[in-house]
Chains A and B, each alone.
Chain A
Amino acid sequence: MFVRIGAFFVGLAFVGVTLFSLITGVIAYVTTPAEENVAETFHLHPRTFDVSSNGPFGTFDRRQLQRGFQVYKEVCAGCHSLNYVAFRDLAALGYDEAEVKAIASQWQIEVPDINPDTGEPSTRKPTPADRFPSPYANEVAARSANNNALPPDLSLIVEAREDGSDYIYSLLTGYRNPATFRNEKGQTLPADLRPGNGLHFNPYFHNLNIAMPPPITADGQVTYADGTKSTVDQMAKDVSAFLIWTAEPKLENRHRTGWAAMIFLSIATLLGYLAYRNVWRDQKAKPVAYTGTMKPENREKRDEASREAGLNT
């Protein structure tokens, strides 16, 4: 009883304060004119593109990953690090041991080391065991070289952005001319949303103006080793596919394990269900309907016939 009386007053307090909050909120909502977010109307949602690793049966297209790696190597690696990927991991792209070794030793950036004779900081050629070396020594160096913007590490970029690879693909192919771009309503970009010094207009970027200059600008920018025609669209797709791999190199294992688990568990669950029905078969109450000789009226007829025949029933 005391609990209920106490609860009533505590309840009144919480309900009262929330309703008071609600009323002030409603008043504020009604009296302040709705602010239209102009930047929002110029923002575009990422376009989707098909990549073989999509979907529960997805696997990597090794040739595409190799092309994507080539784009990374020739276009992105100048500014963007790939901290969580090692040269040895490239074996998963279909390169053999000698090729991996060659890629590592011919990489354009050396890895920091210590001179074994003098103890002075030095650099050496990467080996397959090394992770991809960063293009900049540290964040300050990276910012000073890029107009105070920091090029993010690309290893996990697909996992770290909404819409993942679709976003990367859209961003890479999404640079537009700010002077001619129109939103859905046909409006042109207002002056305060135009890119400032060192910024580039890209409607797929969250605040419309990105520090990264358009990285892939012309068809044939990269000459693919496998002879695929390197259009801007193709290069953007290939490097996005490559970044799916860098973000989750074990994606194929995950899909394979998943299907093995689905098949195993479906059988186990079916057996579990049958075992459950079997154990419960005597205990499940079921409405019963009798037929044939068990039907009550037939039984009565049978008993009557038996009596008439003088049989002991």
Chain B
Amino acid sequence: MAYAWAQAYEPKSPLMKWVDQRLPLPRLVYGTVGGGYPVPRNLSHMYNWGALSGFALIVQIITGIVLAFHYVPSSEGAFDSVERIMRDVNQGWLLRYLHMNGASFFFMVVYLHTFRGLYYGSYKAPREIVWMLGLVILLLMMATGFMGYVLPWGQMSFWGAKVITGLFSAIPLIGPTLQEWLLGGFAPDQAALNRFFGLHYLLPFIIFGVLILHVWALHIPGSSNPTGVEVKGPEDTLPFHPYYTAKDGFALGVFLLVFFAVVSFLPNYFGHVDNYIPANPLSTPSHIVPEWYFWPFYAILRAFTVDFILPAKLWGVLGMFAAIILLFFLPWLDSSPVRSGAYRPLFKMFFWILIADIALLGFVGGLPAEEPYVMLSQLATAYYFAHFLIILPLIPKFEKPLPLPSSISEAVLKGTTSKAAPAGIAAPGTPGVVHA
């Protein structure tokens, strides 16, 4: 691995030695998530979201594969097959609720993982590719999530598919043709459902592939940390195993508790009642909304209401896609040499405004397109773009960062060193030592 003090793998058992010489898989595991990967010693619980995201992906893949054994991708049979899973398949209700809520939890942990990266400047050199691969995963997740929501072929599935594929019709000249080509018809039907099912099954494995690249790219410079100060030597790091496997293990327990509480006691909380009505192309729901994880983007889409050179609809589509695409440029938009938001007073203030702004976008995105919600979405959309494209590049010109610690270990030990005990750290249970 990247650091000079990273441990090389030395197989202990003859079997592992035999395997390692022929296929160095044990070596790979050891160096990636084992004792051979040195990690900054000061990672907070905000650094658990990445591992939890990987776990959520695996939950989705496993439950999804089993659901696919029972699901029928046909506009006549899809809704019925989902109900068959709920009623007649052994533990089918559990599989479906896990998968359907798993999508929400996957997005939740991925968004928190992304916010952590935004706050601690994890996107900055030398981790730009880690950040960009993460965004590729997010885009693939959005496509997968959208297509997965279509599969039960309920009212919201059908009308959501119609609205979202309708976005492509806003593209000048080729738009309507492109939409028909994507759907395989004039409206979502058998052809669309079949290809959505095929892609919904395929994309998670592509996500898994990009995830491998994401982790690989991360292991070149190593993990970032809350101080943003790079690792200087072995005293700054701890081996991933057992320190961070134990920490992630505890976080996983908490995650599963919340996940199972929702699955068992509020399984339809994140869903929409209309999706328990079979799709009906002749009856439009009074209020078409996507899943909650698209609400901020849906709000941006609907915020553009005037034709200004381009039609309003096209502005909305451009705005919605730009809202994600601009994040790819973040490493170059933010030119501050200080990585962590903890040492950037001005950045920190705008960061929290941004979080509130995205929460507001999410709130109005789930509501009907009525006043005053549309005005709120316009205000919030304006700030979203202003934040990333105008404010963020200007912050370094006006900001005086706080003094950085000279190293991670200094930051960890700050205020704990006593003259009498230069080590500053005493093991619990040492006689005469009281831990305050």
Q: What is A's interface to B at a CB cutoff of 8 Å?
A: 3-4, 7-8, 10-12, 14-22, 24-26, 29, 56, 84, 89, 152, 155-156, 159-162, 247-250, 253-255, 257-259, 261-262, 265-266, 268-270, 272-273, 275-276, 278-283, 285-296, 299
Contacting residues, chain B, for A11 (C-beta < 8 A): 385-386, 388-390
Q: Knowing that A21-B303, A56-B264, A289-B436 touch, tell me 18 more A-B residue pairs with CB under 8 angstroms.
A: A7-B329, A7-B389, A17-B319, A18-B304, A89-B87, A160-B273, A254-B97, A257-B264, A258-B264, A261-B256, A268-B253, A273-B253, A276-B247, A278-B246, A280-B243, A280-B247, A294-B433, A295-B432
Q: Please tell me which one of the listed residues A26, A152, A288, A293 contacts residue B375 in the complex, with CB atoms under 8 A apart.
A: A26
Q: Is the CB of B389 within 8 A of A10?
A: yes
Is B284 at the interface (CB under 8 A from chain A)? Answer: no
Please report the C-alpha to C-alpha distance between residue A218 and residue B101 in the assembled complex, in whole angstroms: 43
- 9 A-B pairs with the lowest CB-CB distances in the bound complex, closest first: A258-B264, A11-B389, A269-B253, A294-B432, A160-B276, A22-B378, A14-B385, A159-B276, A296-B420
> A281 with B432: in contact, given A14-B389, A275-B246 (CB under 8 Å)?
no
Q: Please tell me which one of the listed residues A22, A273, A286, A296 contacts residue B416 in the complex, with CB atoms under 8 A apart.
A: A286
Please report the C-alpha to C-alpha distance between residue A249 and residue B304 in the assembled complex, in whole angstroms: 45
Distance in angstroms from B39 CB to nearest chain A CB is 12
Is B163 at the interface (CB under 8 A from chain A)? Answer: no
Q: Is the CB of A84 within 8 A of B375?
A: no
Distance in angstroms from A210 CB to nearest chain B CB is 16
Contacting residues, chain B, for A275 (C-beta < 8 A): 246, 249-250
Please report the C-alpha to C-alpha distance between residue A265 and residue B256 in the assembled complex, in whole angstroms: 7
Q: Is the interface of B mostly helix, strand, loop or mixed?
A: helix
Closest to B260 in A: A261
> A273 with B250: in contact, given A4-B332, A25-B305, A255-B265 (CB under 8 Å)?
yes
Q: Please tell me which one of the listed residues A24, A285, A299 contacts residue B306 in the complex, with CB atoms under 8 A apart.
A: A24
> A291 with B250: in contact, given A7-B393, A21-B304, A285-B424 (CB under 8 Å)?
no
Q: How large is the interface on B (under 10, 10 to 19, 20 to 34, 35 or more residues)?
A: 35 or more
Q: What is B's interface to A at a CB cutoff of 8 Å?
A: 41, 80, 83, 86-87, 93-94, 97, 238, 242-243, 246-247, 249-250, 252-254, 256-257, 260-261, 263-265, 267-268, 273-274, 276-277, 303-306, 308, 312, 315, 319, 322, 326, 329, 332-333, 335, 371-372, 374-375, 378-379, 381-382, 385-386, 388-390, 393, 412-413, 415-416, 418-421, 424-428, 431-436
Distance in angstroms from A23 CB to nearest chain B CB is 9
Contacting residues, chain B, for A29 (C-beta < 8 A): 371-372, 375
Contacting residues, chain B, for A259 (C-beta < 8 A): 264
Please report the C-alpha to C-alpha distance between residue A295 and residue B247 in the assembled complex, in whole angstroms: 33
Please report the C-alpha to C-alpha distance between residue A285 and residue B434 in the assembled complex, in whole angstroms: 13
Closest to A163 in B: B273
Q: Please tell me which one of the listed residues B83, B303, B386, B419 contacts residue A296 in the complex, with CB atoms under 8 A apart.
A: B419
Distance in angstroms from A55 CB to nearest chain B CB is 8
Q: Is the CB of A21 within 8 A of B249?
A: no
Please report the C-alpha to C-alpha distance between residue A3 and residue B330 in the assembled complex, in whole angstroms: 10
Contacting residues, chain A, for B256 (C-beta < 8 A): 261, 265, 268-269
Q: Is the interface of A mostly helix, strand, loop or mixed?
A: helix
Q: Please tell me which one of the listed residues A261, A273, A288, A294 contacts residue B435 in the complex, with CB atoms under 8 A apart.
A: A288
Contacting residues, chain B, for A250 (C-beta < 8 A): 86-87, 93
Q: Is the CB of B382 within 8 A of A18?
A: yes
Distance in angstroms from B392 CB to nearest chain A CB is 9
Q: Please tell me which one of the listed residues A26, A276, A299 contacts residue B420 in the complex, with CB atoms under 8 A apart.
A: A299
Contacting residues, chain A, for B305 (C-beta < 8 A): 21, 24-25
Contacting residues, chain B, for A269 (C-beta < 8 A): 250, 253-254, 256-257
Contacting residues, chain B, for A280 (C-beta < 8 A): 243, 246-247
Contacting residues, chain B, for A272 (C-beta < 8 A): 246, 249-250, 252-253
Please report the C-alpha to C-alpha distance between residue A53 and residue B79 in the assembled complex, in whole angstroms: 25
Please report the C-alpha to C-alpha distance between residue A290 and residue B372 in the assembled complex, in whole angstroms: 62
Q: Is the CB of A290 within 8 A of B420?
A: yes
Closest to A85 in B: B87
Closest to B374 in A: A25
Distance in angstroms from B422 CB to nearest chain A CB is 12
Query: What are some 23 contacts across the A-B interface (CB < 8 A)?
Result: A4-B332, A7-B333, A7-B389, A10-B326, A11-B385, A11-B386, A18-B378, A18-B382, A25-B375, A29-B372, A89-B87, A156-B276, A159-B273, A160-B277, A248-B93, A249-B87, A255-B264, A255-B265, A269-B254, A275-B250, A282-B427, A287-B415, A290-B418
Contacting residues, chain A, for B265 (C-beta < 8 A): 56, 255, 258
Distance in angstroms from A267 CB to nearest chain B CB is 9
Contacting residues, chain B, for A152 (C-beta < 8 A): 277
Distance in angstroms from A68 CB to nearest chain B CB is 18
> A279 with B243: in contact, given A19-B382, A25-B375, A250-B93 (CB under 8 Å)?
yes
Contacting residues, chain A, for B306 (C-beta < 8 A): 17, 20-21, 24
